[in-house]
Amino acid sequence: MNLDDVIQNLAEQLDRSLVLYDTELNLVAFSAHDDDIDEARRTVILSRRGTARGREMIHRAGAHRAHGAVVIPPDEKTSASARVIFPIRRGERLVGYIAYIHPGTSEEGAARHRDALEAAAEDLKELLHERELSRKRELARVNEELTRVLSGDPETRAEAAKVLRETRMIGASESYTVLVLTVGAPEGELAIEDRLSLNDCMTDLLRKSPSKVTGTVLATHAVAITPRRVNQERIAEHLGADGLSRLRAGIGDPREGLADAVESYREALVAARAAWLDEATYGPIAKWSDLGLDRLLVQLPLASLTRRDLPPPLQNLLAVEGGPDLITTLECYLDNACDAQATARELMVHRSTVYYRLDRIRKIGKIDLNCGSARREMHTALRVATLARLRGAH
């Protein structure tokens, strides 16, 4: 008997439509349904996963700690009906949940439900355990082949690419693109909470992708290889979900061969770092193709830089009162190819104000803005100061 059979039999005993989740509230199985279905159940079945609101309420009710059925009251926020959540344990270890709309039964009916749930749990706990072991083996294999295709020597990458294609871990394509997801710097060790956030986002991306994508969470970041160009708007939607706003994403350029995706991976790591360092410029997602000079600058040892490493003219501007306004004006002026009128429009000030500030910049910074090399030096230094977060208070 498989999971679907056990759930369907139990549903008929209870005269309820049931949903079976794993411990991460991914949908494992569900029974046929007649009348007792609401929008919450419909959403779960379509998305193959419990909603963020559902996960919050289950956690708040303590179902993950319980050893028997827990009742979750109706949710006015989503108009969801009251739910019975029955945790399934193998020994003391939680392996899944059964969920269904509360039937409002008598004490006698509740006892009958409890007996049926406990009996079914004997089969379900072993089946869920077997499923978990199978998923772990599959994940371990994906991790191994992904690591090989994104790191090893050319021969190793070619072998891993062949395995990924032949086992259909990834779809066939003329080109492959790498996406990196991170919380903070891509090279920073992940906290447990951050790993869970990345895992939630990656699981959702893999499930909703229209093509066969392979991905996993590594020690410091999450990575996915997709057999198509990455849809930036769709990634932005995922990062806008509850609990995922701290995530940043980097997208590399496509590569023709899967064995060459390592180059797209390197680019995606740099792009993710740029998104983390300067959200004001890139938002939560940065593409390698949009980085320009930042391709080089974000790879500098920015964390070890101090203001003393900046050119003296910029140090002088950072040190004076009113320096932030002067620096913003200088940056805007340089961004606009030293066009004072365009600078005034962008800053929404009078052109005379721009000229006044530029005169102060020349005097305080002791810099000749008519000199091309001086302008180049200041423009680059301003960008480094932004990425190294040296433009704030001392």
Question: What is d(CA 391, CA 162) in angstroms, rounded to the nearest whole number?
Answer: 48
> Do residues 249 and 318 share a domain?
no
Token pair belonging to 264? 């797209």
> Do residues 263 and 370 share a domain?
no
- The pLDDT tens digits of the residues spanning 124-142 come to 999 999 999 988 888 888 8
Which of 269, 297, 325 is the endpoint of a domain?
297
> Do residues 356 and 276 share a domain?
no
In the chain, % helix, strand, coil (3-state, to 5) comes to 55, 15, 35
Residue 313, domain member (yes or no): yes
Which parts of the chain have pLDDT scores under 50?
394
Residues in the chain: 394
Residue 337, domain member (yes or no): yes
Token pair belonging to 132? 């978990």
Please report, for the domain that includes residue 52, its CATH number.
Answer: 3.30.450.40
Intra-chain end-to-end CA distance of the chain, in Å: 67
Residue 342, domain member (yes or no): yes
Give the pLDDT of residue 108.
65
Which ranges of 287-322 would DSSP assign to H, the alpha helix? Answer: 294-297, 312-319
Which of 297, 332, 364 is the endpoint of a domain?
297
Give the pLDDT of residue 384.
96
Whose structure tokens read 């004006």?
329
Please report, for the domain that includes residue 176, its CATH number.
Answer: 3.30.70.870
How many other CB atoms sit within 10 Å of the CB of residue 33? 17
Token pair belonging to 250? 């980097």
Give the pLDDT of residue 203.
81
Residue 290, domain member (yes or no): yes
Which of 233, 268, 297 is the endpoint of a domain?
297
Of the candidates 369, 360, 373, 293, the one whose C-alpha atom is nearest the C-alpha of residue 324 is 360
Residue 147, domain member (yes or no): no
Residue 33, domain member (yes or no): yes
> Do residues 227 and 280 share a domain?
yes
Question: What is d(CA 269, CA 278) in angstroms, rounded to the nearest whole number?
Answer: 14
209 SS3 class: coil
> Do residues 205 and 93 share a domain?
no
Give the pLDDT of residue 42.
74
21 SS3 class: strand
> Do residues 188 and 262 share a domain?
yes
Of the candidates 311, 285, 304, the one whose C-alpha atom is nearest the C-alpha of residue 375 is 311
> Do residues 16 and 46 share a domain?
yes
Q: What is each CA distance from 149 to 125, 138, 172, 224, in whole angstroms?
A: 36, 16, 15, 12
> Do residues 98 and 45 share a domain?
yes
Please report, for the domain that includes residue 382, its CATH number.
Answer: 1.10.10.2840
> Do residues 191 and 218 share a domain?
yes
Q: Could you list the residue range(s) of the whole structural domain that residue 97 is in?
A: 3-121
> Do residues 180 and 292 share a domain?
yes
Give the pLDDT of residue 318.
94
Longest CA pairwise span in the chain (Å): 90
Question: What is d(CA 269, CA 185) in angstroms, rounded to the nearest whole number?
Answer: 9
How many other CB atoms sit within 10 Å of the CB of residue 163? 15
Residue 189, domain member (yes or no): yes
> Do residues 209 and 316 share a domain?
no
Question: What is d(CA 18, CA 11) in angstroms, rounded to the nearest whole number?
Answer: 6
Residue 148, domain member (yes or no): no
The number of distinct structural domains making up the chain is 3
> Do residues 80 and 184 share a domain?
no
216 SS3 class: strand
Give the pLDDT of residue 33.
65
